[in-house]
Amino acid sequence: MLGTIKVGHSQDTEALTGCTVFLPPEGTVGACEVRGGAPGTRETELLRPMFTVTGPNAVLITGGSAFGLGAAGGVVRFLEEKGIGFPTPGGLVPVVSAAVLFDLDLGDCKVRPDEEMAYQACRNAAVDEDREGLVGAGTGASVGNARCREYSVKSGFGLYRFMGGDFKLEVAAVANSFGDVVDVDGQILAGARGDDGSFVGAEKCICNASGLAPGCVGQNTTLVVIATNAKLDKERGARVALQGQNGIARAIRPSHTRYDGDTVFVLATGEVEAPQDAVEILAAMGTAEAIRYSVLRATAAGGLPCACDILNL
């Protein structure tokens, strides 16, 4: 990612869960924006502008709901072995920011990303990792869960890349949403399905009480990592993260619900000057596109169809 940030995946394709780690170079500035009513996070508050740490030593996005937060220990162990961390009188302390999504009801709920899976993701990390679909944290993701998981559509891990001269911005996204994923014209790409398998519209279901089936899934969360080589401080990075959330709102309807814990991370390696407004606009646009790719690159799994099969793409 960007040629300097290493990305590593690890997953269990039978249990349908996994995790993805981002390992930035030293000096990377970090930021984070969390929205929705059901986040599951670790070490995100310290990425706010007023806090001491400039950026994380790693970002972990993972399945497993709250259980998945424990996987961060494997990233901490890997970084400690490499001598990477925030300097303290007691030695280097690795700073690992993490966020989880809910995938426990797809596949085997007893198998969750743990320290060993996250440690393996770190070992797998490479700057040229560009796989999409059912890899890493996207392995157990689905979208359109407003009408229960069995009526949703499989999602996965999606990427968007922009390059203009020396400037680069890349976005990784895993859409795991209560709402539908839509294209630039608002047409549904993947989302809540009716009994006949056609899209019914999550917003319509939510606003019509009869459309909410018993046992409706109330745990979701879309996770995004925006990486750029632009020179940003934490304040500017926070604005980019905010625009990433706007990108989620462009591509997912509804977004930021009380059943979602949508989380956007920003990693800025600081190699080139770039206009702040342009970086923010590209962050919003790129996040929306990465989310769309997360459903268009996915394949059917766990009894759920994929968007390409439904749309005959």
In the chain, the amino acid numbered 179 is G
The token duo for 131 is: 């796989």
Q: What is the mean predicted confidence (pLDDT) over 219-233?
A: 95
Using an 8 Å Cβ cutoff, are 134 and 58 in contact? no
Q: Name the 3-class secondary structure at 54.
A: coil
254 prior amide bond cis, ω within 30:
yes
Quote the DSSP letter at residue 103: -
Cβ contacts of residue 286 below 8 Å, gap of 6+?
160, 162, 169, 170, 171, 226, 247
Distance, CA of 207 to CA of 63 (rounded, Å)? 29
Q: What is the pLDDT of residues 1-22, one digit of tens each?
A: 888 999 999 999 999 999 999 9
What pLDDT does 215 receive? 46
Q: What is the pLDDT of residues 112-125, one digit of tens each?
A: 999 999 999 999 99
Domain boundaries, the chain: 6-311
Using an 8 Å Cβ cutoff, are 179 and 257 in contact? yes
What pLDDT does 209 receive? 56
Distance, CA of 133 to CA of 119 (rounded, Å)? 21
Q: Which of 21, 274, 267, 10 is nearest to 139 (CA)?
A: 10
Q: What superfamily in CATH does domain 6-311 come from?
A: L-amino peptidase D-ALA esterase/amidase (3.60.70.12)
Cβ contacts of residue 152 below 8 Å, gap of 6+?
142, 143, 144, 145, 191, 192, 193, 217, 304
